[in-house]
Amino acid sequence: MVKALYPGTFDPVHNGHVDIVSRSARLFEKVYVGIYEQPEKPALFSTQDRVSMFKESVEHLPNVEVQSFRGLAVNHAQKVGAMFILRGLRAGFDFETEFEMALMWRKLSPKIDVICMMSSLENQFIHSSRVKEVVKLGANVSDLVPQHVVKKLNENM
């Protein structure tokens, strides 16, 4: 079975994340979404909330499993038997950072490959930090995040 891991903080999950997972689910027999527990950086949502929100966002995808993890993404990929780590790329934003991360992961675990997927055009500008920022300023983000996430954002801001 060909498995992949899509790691991230997903604070909160947005439509770009869901799109990457949905497209990946067509390519891999099993896709694990790894919600990184980030004790060193405060998150708006708890790890449990982030897992719950992402699960609800992908409940229509039977070959996707959402779980939390600590430590290195490559170690979690090995733990779940994933041979690939998935990353999303937005135009002009992510390449250098993702390239450097992929090289580090490759050094730490040469058997795991990193696959970068281009974000869909409508999701090129979505970033979790920006979503939180504009919600604080009173913006409607219903076109940027799943509806259940809109509700959670409004409750927590």
Domains of the chain are 3-156 (3.40.50.620)
pTM here is 0.94
pLDDT of 112-144, one tens digit each?
A: 999 999 999 999 899 999 999 999 999 999 999
Q: What is the pLDDT of residue 94?
A: 78
In the predicted model, what is the mean pLDDT of residues 34-42?
87
What ranges in 1-157 are assigned the alpha helix state H?
15-27, 47-57, 73-80, 95-108, 128-136, 147-156
By annotation, the residues acting in catalysis are 17, 41, 90, 128
Residue 154 has pLDDT above 80, yes or no: yes
SS3 content of the chain, % helix, strand, coil (to 5): 45, 20, 35
